Structure formats: C-alpha cells, structure tokens
Amino acid sequence: MNRDAKLGEGSFNSRHGYNAVMNDNRKATVACPFCATLNRVDLSRIAQHPKCGNCGKPILLDRPIAVSDATFERVTTDTTVPVLVDFYADWCGPCKMMAPLLDDVARKHAGEVLIAKLDTDRNPSTGMRFGIRGIPTMILFRGGQEIARRVGAVPPNDLETFVNSA
Ligand SMILES: [Zn+2]
C-alpha cells in the first residue's frame, strides 16, 4: 500500500516535471522596447502579458522585436526557440513591403518563433558579420547558429514556408 502511494506520487511528480521542462524550453531573451533592458521571457506564458523587469512596461512578442549590434548575440543565442532576423533599412522599399508580412508571422507564431528586426544602417557590424549584401535579408537562427536565409522580398506563402523550416 505504501509502495502504491509512492508510485502514484512518483508518476505525478514525473508528469509535473515534464511539463516544467517543456515550459523551460521556450524562453526568449529580448530587449525592452522602452528602456532597452534585456529580459528573459517565458514564452509559454506570453498570454499572461510579460512585463519588463526594469520599467514594468509590457513586452509584446506578437510583433517583431528590435535587435541591435549590442543585443544581437544574446537574443539569438539565449532564445531557445528559432529566431528569424529581418535585416532591413528604413529607405528600402522591398523591406517596407515585407514589414506587414513579418507582423503577421510574428502574431501567428508568437511563442514558437521569435521575429526580430535589425536596422542595418544603425547596426553595421552585425550586417557585416553575416555578409549581408542585399536587403531585406531574412536569416533563421537556432541556438545562435544560422540555419537558413532568404534574400529579397518574398510572398506570404514563401515566408510561411521559410518560417516553418526552422
Ligand atoms: Zn523596460
């Protein structure tokens, strides 16, 4: 009887532990858009509206989040889900065409894929590091490693396929 009780408890703990591990696996490190503080966000809990640990303002992950030369490394290596980085510039027409598509993808894949944007004019060293020659260039990262890239504007279906290849 004692043994049965222990088994029951063990199985409960194991299931609980499994869930905890699953939750722990989906984390993103992102800069607060208001105060630039890097925050570690539990992506399994974005429905509960995560807030910046420094300024208390909301961290919204259902839209693209800005990365910079200063934050790029931390965001791409510390985030445990795939990260799609859009290398763009404000003057670039095709980049403007891609913007609403990336907004849609960010909303649709919130918590599963982190959509990030890097302004190549303001952050030249990251663009150089990845040999960006034309914009927009979209690169998918997993664990900080490039796994795929697309150069130029792409139609919505192609973007969706690209994101799903992560
Ligand atoms: Zn903040």
95 is catalytic: yes
> Is 70 exceeded by the pLDDT of residue 10?
no
CA nearest neighbour of 129 among 61, 80, 67: 67
Q: How far is the CA of 134 from the centre of ligand 1 (A)?
A: 32
Would you call 37 helix, strand, or coil by DSSP?
coil
Cα 80 to ligand 1 centre (Å): 21
pLDDT of residue 155: 96
**pLDDT tens digits, residue range 24-47?**
589 999 999 999 999 999 999 998
- In angstroms, rounded to a whole number, what is the distance separating the alpha carbons of residues 64 and 103? 6
Distance 99 CA to ligand 1 centre (A): 24
Confidence check: pLDDT of 73 > 90: yes
What beta strand segments (E) does the chain contain? 27-31, 38-42, 65-67, 83-88, 114-119, 137-142, 145-151
Instruction: Assess whether 55 carries a catalytic annotation.
Output: no
128 Cα–ligand 1 center, Å: 29
Active-site annotation holder among 35, 52, 55, 95: 95
Task: Give the integer Cα–Cα distance in Å for 13 and 62.
Answer: 33
**From ligand 1's centre to the CA of 56, what distance in Å?**
6
CATH superfamily assigned to domain 62-166: Glutaredoxin (3.40.30.10)
In the prediction, which pLDDT does 25 show? 84
Sequence-distant (6+) residues with CB within 8 A of 49 are 58
Predicted pLDDT at 42 = 94
State pTM to two decimals.
0.84
Per the prediction, the chain carries an average pLDDT of 89
The answer on pLDDT for 17 being more than 90 is no
The full set of domain ranges for the chain reads 1-61, 62-166
Task: Give tens-digit pLDDT for 125-135.
Answer: 999 999 999 99
**18 pLDDT more than 80:** no
